[in-house]
Structure 1
Amino acid sequence: MATIKALTWDHPRGFNALAAAARRDEVIAAGLDIQWDKQPLEGFESHPIADLCARYDLVVIDHPHVGEAVSGDCLQSLESVFGADVVEALGAESIGPSLSSYHYAGKHWALPLDAATQVMALRADLVDGGAPETWAAVADLSRRTGKVALSLAGPHAVLSFLSIAAAYGEPPAEADPDVLVSSETGTIVYELMAELASLSPRVVRDKNPIGILGHMAAFDDVMLCPLIYGYVNYSAPDAGKPVTFADAPRRVAGGRPGSTLGGTGIGISKRCDPSPELKAHLLWLMSREAQIHFIPAHDGQPSRREAWFDNGVNRRWNGFYRQTAETIEAAYVRPRHDGYIAFQSRASALLRDAFEAKAAAASVLAQLQDLYRAHRRGGEER
Structure 2
Amino acid sequence: MTTSTTGTTTSTTAGAEATSARPATTTLRGITWEHPRGFDCQVAAAAAYERLTGVRVVWEQRSLQAFADAPLDDLTARYDLLVIDHPHVPLAAAHGLLAPLDGHGHDEALAALAGTSVGAGHASYAHGGHQYGLATDSAAQVAVRRPDLLADRPEGWDEVLDLAAEGRVLWPAKPIDAWSSLCTLAANRGTPVGATPGTFLDDEDAAPVLDLLHRLAERVPGWCLEANPIEVAEALSGGRPDADPRWAYAPLAYGYTNYGRPGFRPHRLRYEDIPAGPRGVAGSQLGGAGVAVSARASDPDAARAYALWVASPQVQAGVYYDAGGQPGYAPAWDDDRLNADSWDFFRGTRRTLEQAWVRPRTAGFIELQDTVSPWVTATLRGELDDATLLRRAGEAAARLLVPDETPEGGTT
Letter in 1 for 2:47: R
- The answer to whether the Cα contact below 8 Å between 1:8 and 1:39 also exists between their aligned partners in 2 is yes
Matches within 5 A, 1:306-345: 306-345=331-370
Once the two structures are superposed, residues 80-100 of structure 1 have per-residue CA deviations (whole angstroms, 9 ceiling, x without a partner) of 344544322211112111111
Letter in 2 for 1:249: P
Once the two structures are superposed, residues 6-57 of structure 1 have per-residue CA deviations (whole angstroms, 9 ceiling, x without a partner) of 1111111111121112112x53453312111111121233432011001111
Whole-Å Cα distance in 1 between the matches of residues 395 and 356 of structure 2?
25
Q: How many angstroms does 1:121 deviate by?
A: 1.0
Once the two structures are superposed, residues 73-117 of structure 1 have per-residue CA deviations (whole angstroms, 9 ceiling, x without a partner) of 111112134454432221111211111111222222111111111
Match of 1:13 in 2: 37
Which consecutive residues of structure 1, in runs of 5 or more, have no partner in the other structure? none
Q: How many angstroms does 1:295 deviate by?
A: 1.6
Match of 1:242 in 2: 268
Matches within 5 A, 1:70-219: 70-128=93-151, 130-143=152-165, 145-174=166-195, 176-218=196-238, 219=243
Match of 2:85 in 1: 62
Once the two structures are superposed, residues 220-248 of structure 1 have per-residue CA deviations (whole angstroms, 9 ceiling, x without a partner) of 24321110000111112433211111101
Q: TM-score, normalised by structure 1?
A: 0.92
- The answer to whether the Cα contact below 8 Å between 1:187 and 1:365 also exists between their aligned partners in 2 is no
Whole-Å Cα distance in 2 between the matches of residues 191 and 2 of structure 1?
55
Which consecutive residues of structure 2, in runs of 5 or more, have no partner in the other structure? 1-24
Q: How many angstroms does 1:277 deviate by?
A: 5.3
- The answer to whether the Cα contact below 8 Å between 1:4 and 1:34 also exists between their aligned partners in 2 is yes
Q: How many angstroms does 1:364 deviate by?
A: 2.6
Whole-Å Cα distance in 1 between the matches of residues 303 and 194 of structure 2?
38
Whole-Å Cα distance in 1 between the matches of residues 390 and 121 of structure 2?
29
Whole-Å Cα distance in 2 between the matches of residues 288 and 367 of structure 1?
45
Letter in 2 for 1:88: A
| Residue 2 of structure 2 is aligned to residue 2 of structure 1 | no
State the SS of the aligned residue for 2:82: strand
| Residue 381 of structure 2 is aligned to residue 346 of structure 1 | no
Q: TM-score, normalised by structure 2?
A: 0.85
CA RMSD of superposed structures (Å)? 2.2
> What percentage of aligned pairs have identical amino acids?
32
Picking from 325, 332, 350, the partner of 1:300 is: 325
| Residue 56 of structure 2 is aligned to residue 30 of structure 1 | no
Q: How many angstroms does 1:379 deviate by?
A: 4.3
The number of residue pairs the alignment matches comes to 377
